Structure 1
C-alpha cells in the first residue's frame, strides 16, 4: 500500500481542535517524509495557504512532521519552519569541561553564536562515534530554537548524560560532538569514553 494513501484523511483531520488528533496527523506525515519529503512539503505548504487552523497549531504539525528531516539537516525543512539554512551565523569552537569520561558521566559543553542581523536559529547537537568499526547510530538532539540578536553573542550551554538510550548505545571509544545550526554542521569537538561506570 502506498505510504501516501492516508493523505485525503489527513487533509480533513489536520484542522481538528484536538492536539491528540493533530499529533497523530504529524506522525503520519513524518512517516511519509522518510521516503517522500517533497510531497510532505507540498502538503504542509497547501495547508498553510488554506488557513483552516491556527498558525501555532500548523507550526506544531510542521515541526513534528519534519522532525527526522530537520535532524538530518535537510535545507527545505528549515526553510519551511522559518529558519534560513544560509543565514550568516558564526559559531565559536565548542568548549568541553573535560575530554575524558566514563559511562554515566555528564558531558557539559558550551559555544557562542553571533550574527550581523537578528537571526532565528534552530540549534541541535550531534553525537557520533569516531571509531571506524561501530554500530552506534548517530544521536541528534534538540538544543534550542531562538533568535540571535545582531552583534550580541549568545552563549549556549548544555549538559548531556552519557547513558545508553534507544539506538544511542554508548560504549568505550572516541566520539565527536557537533553543533548543527539551521541544518548546517560546524567543526566538532572530540572526547573519549573510558571503560567503567561513573
Structure 2
C-alpha cells in the first residue's frame, strides 16, 4: 500500500499551483517547486510534509498575512480533502496574532479538510476566548463546525499538541459535548465519543458518571456512550461492564483453549479455538476478548487486547475460533520469543496458553 504521505505528488502540486495562479497570477511556480522538493523532502512523514507545504506557502505568497490568507480563502472552496490540511496549518503557523481573521479562515478550512490541529495553539494561547468560540461552533448548522468543536479540544488528539490543562480539568469541554450528545451526524457523534474516551484515561469516574446519566435516553446518545467507554471496557472496569449488562463471569468457564500453531513465523497467522461453557440455566450476555502478550525488544511482554464478540450465550457449550495475523505492520515490530494468548470474559482472564513466535527470515 502506498504511504499516505505520497498523496503530495508532483501532479497534485501542479494542479494546486494552477488553482493558486488563477487567483494570484504573480505566484512563482518555479520557486514553489524548488522549495517544496528540498533535500529533506523524501524523508518527511505526512505531518511534517503538511507543515513544510504551509511554510513554503508562507515564503511564496504575499508577505502580509492578511493578503496571503485572503488568497487561500478564495481558493478554498475548490480544495477539498485531507491533503489540504496545510491550509489550516498555514493559519496555525502564521495567524496566532490575528485572531478574528484566523477564526474566519479556520471556519472555512475545516469544511474543506479539517482544522482540528490548527485550533489547538489558539486554545493554548487564550483558552477562555477560544473555548467560547468552540462552544458557539457546537450549535452551528454545519456538521464540520460542530465536529471541530469537539475534535479540536480532545485532550489526547492523535498527532495534535497535547492539551495538558484539559487532561487535568476537562470541565470546559463538557458543555460542548453536552450540546452534541444527540447530534444527528455520525461524524460528530464519533468525535464526541473519542473526546470522552480521551477524558476516561485521566478521569474514569467522571466519564462513568456522564455515561450513566446519558445512557438510555436517545439512540444517538447510547451510541456515543458505548464508544466512549471502550477503553474502560477493555480495562475490565466493573461499572462500565455493568452499565451494558455485562455482569461478573461466575458460572462461565473457558475450556480447551488450544492453538493449532504453537510455533509460527512472522508473517503467518496464529490460529486458536476454545469452548465457552455456560454452567447456568439461563443465557448470559458475555463480552469475549483475547489478549496477546507480545515480546518486546528487551524480552518483556506488552499486552494488547482485541474484541471477539459481545452477545448472548445459551446454556451449555459454545465453540469459538479465531485467527490473528502476524504479518508485518507499520505500528508494531514483532520480536521472536514466547508470547502469551489469554481469553478474557467480561473483563476477567479465564484461560491462558503460551506460543512461540519465530523470525520469519529463511
CA–CA separation in structure 2 for the residues paired with 1:186 and 1:42: 29
Contact 2:271 2:324 in 1 (8 A): yes
Match of 1:98 among 246, 250, 261: 261
CA–CA separation in structure 1 for the residues paired with 2:320 and 2:207: 32
> Which structure: greater strand fraction?
1
Q: Which residue of 2 aligns with 1:127?
A: 292
CA–CA separation in structure 1 for the residues paired with 2:304 and 2:256: 20
TM-score, length-scaled by structure 2: 0.50
Match of 1:43 among 210, 215, 227: 210
The aligned runs of 1:42-121 (5 Å cut-off) are: 42-48=209-215, 51=217, 53-54=218-219, 57-115=220-278, 116=280, 117-121=282-286
Q: CA deviation at 1:131?
A: 7.5
**Does the alignment pair 1:175 with 2:342?**
no
Contact 2:295 2:335 in 1 (8 A): no
Q: Which residue of 2 aligns with 1:191?
A: 355
CA–CA separation in structure 2 for the residues paired with 1:180 and 1:37: 21
Q: CA deviation at 1:37?
A: 0.6
CA–CA separation in structure 1 for the residues paired with 2:232 and 2:210: 15
Q: Which has the larger radius of gyration?
A: 2
Q: CA deviation at 1:2?
A: 2.9
CA–CA separation in structure 1 for the residues paired with 2:203 and 2:183: 24
* Greater RCO (Cα-Cα under 8 Å, separation 6 or more): 1
Change (3 A) 1:87 1:24: farther
Where in structure 1 do 4 or more consecutive aligned residues deviate above 2 Å?
A: 57-60, 85-88, 129-137, 163-169
Q: CA deviation at 1:164?
A: 4.1
CA–CA separation in structure 2 for the residues paired with 1:184 and 1:106: 25
| Unmatched 5+ stretches in structure 2 | 1-164
SS at match of 1:35: coil
Q: Deviations over 1:8-37 (max 9, x none)?
A: 111110111111111111000000000111
Q: Calculate the aligned-residue CA RMSD, in Å.
A: 2.1
Q: Which residue of 2 aligns with 1:30?
A: 197
TM-score, length-scaled by structure 1: 0.88
SS at match of 1:177: strand
CA–CA separation in structure 1 for the residues paired with 2:244 and 2:182: 18
CA–CA separation in structure 1 for the residues paired with 2:334 and 2:326: 7
SS at match of 2:324: strand
| Unmatched 5+ stretches in structure 1 | none
SS at match of 2:246: coil
SS at match of 1:23: helix
Q: CA deviation at 1:194?
A: 1.1
Q: Which residue of 1 aligns with 2:315?
A: 150
CA–CA separation in structure 1 for the residues paired with 2:305 and 2:330: 12
Change (3 A) 1:112 1:125: same
CA–CA separation in structure 2 for the residues paired with 1:166 and 1:29: 27
Q: Which residue of 1 aligns with 2:177?
A: 10
Contact 1:120 1:147 in 2 (8 A): yes
